[in-house]
Chains A and B, each alone.
Chain A
Amino acid sequence: MLEGPSTQADLSTNVSDSSGPGRARKSLAAVCGALLAATCVFAATAVVHRDSGPVRRAAPAAIPVSLANFSAVMVASARQSLGKSDLGASTVATFDANGAPLPGGVVDGAASLYVSFGSEKSHYWKLFVGTSDVGTDPAAAKCSTAFSTALLTCNTSKTGDGGLAVTTVLVARAVPDEPGHYAVADVKALTDADLPELRVERNVRVFHPNGTMTSVTEGVVGPKSLDPDAIFTSSASNMTKLATDPEVARVPAS
């Protein structure tokens, strides 16, 4: 069970904020002065060990404030494109440029966000929008054989906007004694008895030439088979349609 989650934002502050540990080191050293020089130098340097500061990447374009209603657009698009009228309530989560969750799902200043439906314990959908890490060259994205033991299918296709869609069906297996955690499965070694322990996800990831990446996922926990057609209720084509929806794909580049 998760306990007292720490946020990376807090940790980054610890490291990079000069009023944090750095000031603590100076204060400690100053107090100790010449009286306990050797001991204090040790104590002062032991406060925080560091070999280098955090490497900050160029921040991706933030989602414009003018698109503060973007999550509503995503919800509407998802309901329409996924062909499901019973997706249930939606949850919105937003993240800063370093991937740290923003409290309350605020959109202002967010670099990526997702809208999810359903329950991650049984059946869920997720629409994610962020910055592509292949930049403006979608052809750099691949469908590889890595994690091949867990892949049921993987294929690529070009999209109408010049992007590339990578569609995968991947099987993960519950980690013993760690509720909610999954590891790569070996699909060839699975039997029907393993099905309750599995999580199967179909993911359509579209790398757009404007530098945006949109990702649509449908996940099922404890499937009754490993036949994608029997597992998922949304078609891959509908998921691709949602991932290439101009209203979704234009963020955050617009």
Chain B
Amino acid sequence: MRRLNLIRRVTLLTLLIVPLAFAPPAFANGFSLYYGPSPYGGNPYALNEGNISWTGKFHFDWYGDSWDYCPADGLGTSFYFGYQYGDGSSGEDAPVLWDVAGCNTHQYGAGTVTKQRQIVKVRVHSCWTNDGNLCWLEDIDYGVGAWKTNPNV
């Protein structure tokens, strides 16, 4: 009986360890983008920050915070991901996180992105939101992050 239990334990250990050993390692890449200004108030700025963790050729995990600082101007902040794929094409998603409530607020979020094509690299694009448009204006001077290359591809 004790021998049977030992076999069961070894089997369980094997089932747990083998998948972990062959799972792709996660590679983390942080981003922190200050940008501004907005058209309706003085000295405004915004911040998108967070992290990307590569979990395979086709997917990554992310978490982030989108901060809309003063003034309260009706505008908000958001960011989306832009991609370069293994087949040479590029693409982008709709905004994945936004803060539309104005002064000194922020919004936290996290998620997993999975694509049908291999993701060679990804970067963050920052936007101003306005009246329900989640990417009314993009800040191409300060709001575009560095490419994060997928080490699994």
Check A11–B131 contact: CB distance below 8 A. no
Interface size on B, residues (CB 8 A): 58
Given A6-B111, A36-B16, A46-B26, do A140 and B96 touch, yes or no (CB 8 Å)? no
B17 within 8 A of A: yes
Q: Is B47 an interface residue (CB 8 A)?
A: no
Known contacts A36-B16, A144-B39; is A183 also within 8 Å of B73 by CB? no
A183 touches B42 (CB 8 A): no
A15 on interface, CB distance cutoff 8 Å: yes
Contact A8 B93 (CB under 8 A): no
Interchain nearest-CB distance for B114 vs A (Å): 9
Q: CB distance B132 to A133 under 8 Å?
A: no
Known: A6-B94, A39-B20, A147-B37. A49 touches B63 (CB 8 A): yes
Please determine whether A170 and B74 come into contact, CB atoms closer than 8 angstroms.
no
The answer to whether A146 and B94 touch (CB under 8 A), given A15-B110, A39-B20, is no
Contact status A55-B108, CB under 8 Å:
yes
- Contact status B137-A183, CB under 8 Å: yes
Q: Are B138 and A182 in contact, with the CB atoms below 8 A?
A: yes
Would A49 and B101 be within 8 Å (CB), given that A11-B96, A95-B132, A141-B73 are in contact?
no
Which of B16, B51, B82, B105 has the most chain A CB atoms inside 10 A of its CB? B16
Cβ contacts under 8 Å, B74 to chain A: 132-133, 205, 213, 215
Chain B residues with Cβ below 8 Å from A5 are 93-94
B1 CB–A CB distance under 8 Å: no
Q: Is the CB of A32 within 8 A of B109?
A: no
**Size category, A interface:** 35 or more
Taking a contact as CB atoms under 8 Å apart, the answer to whether A15 and B131 are in contact is no
A-B contact pairs, 23 of them (CB 8 A): A6-B96, A6-B113, A8-B95, A11-B111, A21-B110, A36-B13, A36-B16, A36-B17, A36-B20, A48-B61, A55-B106, A99-B101, A133-B72, A133-B101, A133-B102, A142-B73, A146-B36, A146-B40, A146-B41, A175-B138, A175-B140, A182-B138, A183-B140
Apart from A32-B16, A141-B73, list 20 A-B contacts with CB within 8 A.
A11-B109, A14-B111, A15-B109, A36-B13, A36-B16, A46-B26, A48-B61, A50-B108, A55-B105, A93-B132, A95-B132, A101-B132, A112-B132, A132-B74, A147-B37, A168-B40, A170-B39, A177-B90, A178-B92, A181-B138
Q: Which residues of B contact A (CB under 8 A)?
A: 12-13, 16-17, 20, 26, 36-44, 51, 53, 61, 63, 71-74, 76, 82, 90-103, 105-111, 113, 129, 131-132, 134-141
